[in-house]
Amino acid sequence: MVHLADGVLLLSIQRLKGERSERSLFHVLNGKRSATTLQDAFFYDLEPIFGLFPYTKYDYEKLLASFEKRGWLNRSSFTLTEAGSMLASPEAVSDLFDRLGGEYRDYTTMTWKRLSLFVQTFMSLEHERTFYPVQADRLAERWVKQIVRTEREWRPLIQSFHHELETALEDIGDPYATAVVYRFTGAFETGYTYEQIAALLDVDARTARLYFLAGWNALLWKLPRDAKLLGFAHGLSSERMTLSARGSYEQFLAGRSFQQVQSQRRLRTSTIEDHVVEMAMYLDEFPLDQFVPLEQIKQVEQLRDESSWALKPIFEQIDGISYYQIRLVFARLKRGETFV
C-alpha cells in the first residue's frame, strides 16, 4: 500500500532533481546543521522536512531499497521513475510536505514539549494524581517546574489556553486538528500514540505523525501575536540562520571587514564564507555586489538553467569566479531577486 508519508519522501527526492546525493538527503532529513545541508534544504525547497525524519543509516538504506524494489526510485541517478513521480505529484502530498515546519528548527518542537508537559502537570496537580512526565526532556521539565512554582491563579489562564487552542484547531481543520488533540495527555487519559491516531484517521502511523507535526506547526502560526499560548515559546527562536552565522553577521553589522571578522572569531575562511552564504539565504536585504562583481552576477543569472541549482556548469563557464560567489548569487536568485 502507498501512504502519504511515502509520497512526502518521494517528493523530497524529486525536488533534488538528481543534483544531490542520497547522503545529502539523509543529512536534510536528520537536520544536520552543516553549511552544505542548510544550503541543500534552502535551494531545493526541502526546509519543511528539515530534521523531521531522524533515520539511522540502516533505516534510511532500508527505505531507499524498498523504494527501488517497488519500482519508484532509480538509485544510480537518485531520481524517481515515472511511477515514483506519479506518487509524488498529488496535491495532498505537496500540501502535507509544505505544512511540516522543519524550517523553524527546534521552535515548534520545544513549544509542544513545554505545553503538553504543562497541561499534564496542571491537570494531575488539580486532581492530586501522581504521573510520569509525558516528555522525557530535562529542559522542558525544568521550564514547566519553574512556571508551576510561581504563585499564579492558573484556572483563568487554562481557560484562555483552551479557547485559543479551540479557535486555532477550527482554523487548521482535520485531519491535522484531530492528530494534535489526541496527542495531549491529561490527568486520567494518556495521549494517543501515532498508531492509535492512525486507526482513528484510517492512515498508517507514519502519516499520522506527519499530520500531527503539520497540525501543530500550522496551529502555532494561526495564533494571534498576543496569544497567551505563545508564552510557551518564550526564549525560543524560529530563526533559520545558525547561531554561529548570526555571530558573524553581528560582526559585519558592527562595520568589520571579512578579514576582521575571521580574525576576531578565529575561524577558517571557508567557515566565514559559509556564514555569508547563510546571510544571503535568509536576510531580506543583502549587499551582493560587495562580494561578487556586478558583471559576474549578471553572467550567473543568464547562464543558470532555471530548473537547476547545480554550481559546476556555471563555474566552468565563467572565468575568475568561485563556487562561494556562485552560491551567493544563487541565494539571491532563489529569493526572487533579478539583476539582468
3-state secondary structure the chain: CCCHHHHHHHHHHHHHCCCCCHHHHHHHHHCCCCHHHHHHHHHCCCHHHCCCCCCCHHHHHHHHHHHHHCCCEECCCCEECHHHHHHHCCHHHHHHHHHCCHHHCCHHHHHHHHHHHHHHHHHHHHCCCCCCCCCCCHHHHHHHHHHHHCCCCHHHHHHHHHHHHHHHHHHHCCCHHHHHHCCCCCCCCCCCCHHHHHHHHCCCHHHHHHHHHHHHHHHHHHCCCCCHHHHHHCCCCCCCCCHHHHHHHHHHHCCCCHHHHHHHHCCCHHHHHHHHHHHHHHCCCCCHHHCCCHHHHHHHHHHCCCCCCCCHHHHCCCCCCCHHHHHHHHHHHHCCCCCC
pLDDT of residue 133: 84
The parent domain of residue 89 ranges over: 4-100
**Which pLDDT does position 209 carry in this prediction?**
97
Q: Are residues 332 and 309 in the same domain?
A: yes
- Which of 166, 199, 233 is the last residue before a domain boundary? 233
Q: Quick one: 91 and 152 in the same domain?
A: no
* 189 and 213, same domain (yes or no): yes
> At which residue does the C-alpha cell 556548469 appear?
313
Which cell numbers in the block locate residue 226?
498576543
Q: Examine the domain organization and report whether 223 and 117 are in the same domain.
A: yes
pLDDT tens digits for range 241-290: 999 999 999 999 999 999 999 999 999 999 999 999 999 999 999 999 99
Q: 199 and 126, same structural domain?
A: yes
pLDDT tens digit string along 1-11?
Answer: 679 999 999 99
Global pTM value: 0.93
Which positions of the chain have pLDDT values less than 50? none
Are 225 and 247 part of one and the same domain? no
Same domain? For 114 and 84 the reply is: no
Same domain for 173 and 149: yes
* Listed residues 34, 68, 100: the one ending a domain: 100
Residue 158 cell numbers, joined: 487554562
Q: Is the same domain home to 131 and 197?
A: yes
Structure confidence by residue, pLDDT tens digits, 80-114: 999 999 999 999 999 999 999 999 988 999 999 99
Return the pLDDT at 100: 96
Q: Are residues 121 and 78 in the same domain?
A: no
Residues 155 and 74 in one domain: no
The pLDDT of residue 171: 95
88 and 15 within one domain: yes
Q: Give the model's pLDDT for residue 1.
A: 64
Answer with the one of 76, 100, 124 that is the final residue of a domain: 100
Q: How many domains does the chain have?
A: 4
Distance CA 233, CA 239 (A): 13
